[in-house]
Amino acid sequence: MSRKHFGTDGIRGTVGRAPITPEFVLKLGQAAGRVLARLATERRAARPTVLIGKDTRISGYMLEASLEAGFSSAGVDVVLCGPLPTPAVAYLTRAQRLDAGVVISASHNPFADNGIKFFSAAGKKLPDAVEAQIEAELERPYTCVESRQLGRARRLDDAAGRYVEYCKSTFPTELDLRGLKIVVDCAHGAAYHVAPDVFHELGAEVVAIGNEPNGFNINDGVGATHGDFLADRVQAHEADLGIALDGDADRVLIADGDGTLYDGDQLLYVIVRDRMRSGPVDGAVGTLMTNYALERRFAELGVPFARAKVGDRYVLELLEQRGWRWGGEGSGHLLCLDRHTTGDGIVSALQVLAAMRHSGASLAELTADLPLLAQSLVNVKMSPGFDWQGHAPLAAEIAAVERELAGAGRVLIRPSGTEPVLRVMVECADAELAEALARRIAATIA
């Protein structure tokens, strides 16, 4: 599919600049509404209904109003749930048997950015074919249905409470979190009124931080992209664990009582090992950036492993192609398809906590046999049209480095999708060696 507006995770940008303007978002709502109305007619179904959620950015009010107007003008009913995590919108769309879910969020970006992403009736990322239809509708002139056909809007009562109960249902009923003191960093984002309650109601003593959004402070020095802050707060409060979410709560980072941080690769390993208690695991999916140590360890355990392109959308696509259930990225986007249809920071954290409770072990003990390799990344500027794949000196140096690593490391070369640079990454146990080897490869094209 050729995309003009949709990226790998919806539409995103700086508020006030195309495409994140009230005018465009109004038109986007109408375009999506026309597609949903057409699909409802084909199914001979009733008037379509869409759920709209958002994070805590100040621009959410404006964009929510524009979306609501766009959907209404296309004859689509709207259910508003206010600030709520992205995975909560996916869950509620499915649970309420609605036609689609829409999230107004720019995830881990600063408050001046925002975006729009869609979920299908099944609570999954919108299929490419439907996104293509919406793109086509965006090229058509603005129209409005007759007054009798306009969509209505209503609020979903206790949307947050419903989602809290859902999250708790993903944690084994025979277990609880009593005796644990947990710092929960909500990034001043969409989970500020949800995440602390989940862990508290399961029995933990919760210290909530990053739970005072003001429209401007989302992700500002807090949350999953600021692990050092989480580690500091865990030690300051003498807590057992720290759990940090990002602005829309679809990714997670965890710190132990010593302030040691555990990334998505390590957390995925903990979850998969816990699932192996019940029998063999069909397989797991990472990305091109997943630490090579995880791939090797899974091989030792007999767990098939595959790499997708960077982005949780591609991890999900590969999981569905293979019929597997667990995958993720080092950034903390984790997918547990036996629990949810999309990445969910709270649910993922609960799966890690369940593994700790099942084993009686700490995170350090659960990951002791997964020593991560050092990763060194060098960005090299490329001239337009540079054929890096056909560049003989580069190919020769890559081959030389791979011989030197002798299977104890990995080389990854990939062009950036956002800027004219080639990313050169080398992984091995020795950080200094990884950096030296990466710079050797980069020097062939610098």
Q: One of 59, 107, 120, 348 is an active-site residue; which one?
A: 107
What's the rounded Cα separation, in Å, for the pair 113 and 105? 8
Is the pLDDT reported for residue 271 higher than 90?
Answer: yes
What's the rounded Cα separation, in Å, for the pair 91 and 169? 12
CA angle 318, 266, 264 (to 5 degrees): 55
CATH class assigned to 374-443:
alpha beta
pLDDT tens digits, 387-440: 999 999 999 999 999 999 999 999 999 988 768 899 999 999 999 999 999 999
Contact 353, 177 (CB under 8 A): yes
pLDDT tens digits, 4-23: 888 878 899 999 999 999 99
DSSP character at residue 438: H
Q: Which CATH number fits domain 11-157: 3.90.1570.10, 3.30.1360.40, 3.40.1000.10, 3.40.120.10?
A: 3.40.120.10
Lowest mean pLDDT of 1-5, 107-111, 168-172, 319-323, name the range. 1-5
Return the CATH number of the domain spanning residue range 162-243.
3.40.120.10
Contact 330, 263 (CB under 8 A): yes
Q: Could you tell me which of 356, 329, 351 has the C-alpha nearest to residue 339?
A: 351
- Token pair, residue 238, equals 């003498």
Check the CA dihedral 244-250-247-212 and report its sign.
Answer: negative
Q: What pLDDT score does 103 carry?
A: 98
- Token pair, residue 107, equals 């995830």
pLDDT tens digits, 137-178: 999 998 999 999 999 999 999 999 999 999 999 999 999 999
For 24-79, the three-class secondary structure string (H helix, E strand, C coil) is: HHHHHHHHHHHHHHHHHHHCCCCCCEEEEEECCCCHHHHHHHHHHHHHHHCCCEEE
- pTM score: 0.94
Q: What pLDDT score does 97 carry?
A: 95
Return the CATH number of the domain spanning residue range 262-366.
3.40.120.10
Q: What pLDDT score does 425 carry?
A: 96
Angle between helix axes 345-359 and 159-169 (nearest 10 degrees) is: 30
Average pLDDT over all residues of the chain: 95
- Token pair, residue 376, equals 């060194």
- Token pair, residue 291, equals 């630490």
- Token pair, residue 80, equals 């508003």
What average pLDDT does the segment 303-319 reach?
94
CA dist list (Å): 166 to 89, 232, 344, 401, 421: 12, 30, 12, 49, 43
Q: Could you tell me which of 152, 195, 164 has the C-alpha nearest to residue 56?
A: 195
User: Regarding beta strands 77-83 and 49-54, do their DSSP bridges make them parallel or antiparallel, or are they unpaired?
Assistant: parallel
The residue written with tokens 């302030």 in the block is 259
pLDDT tens digits, 190-219: 999 999 999 999 999 999 999 999 999 999
Q: What pLDDT score does 446 carry?
A: 66
What 3-state class would DSSP assign to 181? strand
Q: Could you tell me which of 79, 1, 61, 75 has the C-alpha nearest to residue 25?
A: 61
The residue written with tokens 């949350």 in the block is 223
Sequence spans of domains, the chain: 11-157, 162-243, 262-366, 374-443
Q: Are the folds of 11-157 and 374-443 the same?
A: no
What average pLDDT does the segment 43-55 reach?
90
**Which residues does residue 116 pair with via DSSP β-bridges, in sequence order?**
11, 104
Q: How many CB atoms lie within 10 A of CB 41?
A: 11
The question of whether 278 is a catalytic residue gets the answer no
Contact 202, 176 (CB under 8 A): yes
Check the CA dihedral 338-343-54-171 and report its sign.
Answer: positive
What's the rounded Cα separation, in Å, for the pair 125 and 131? 10
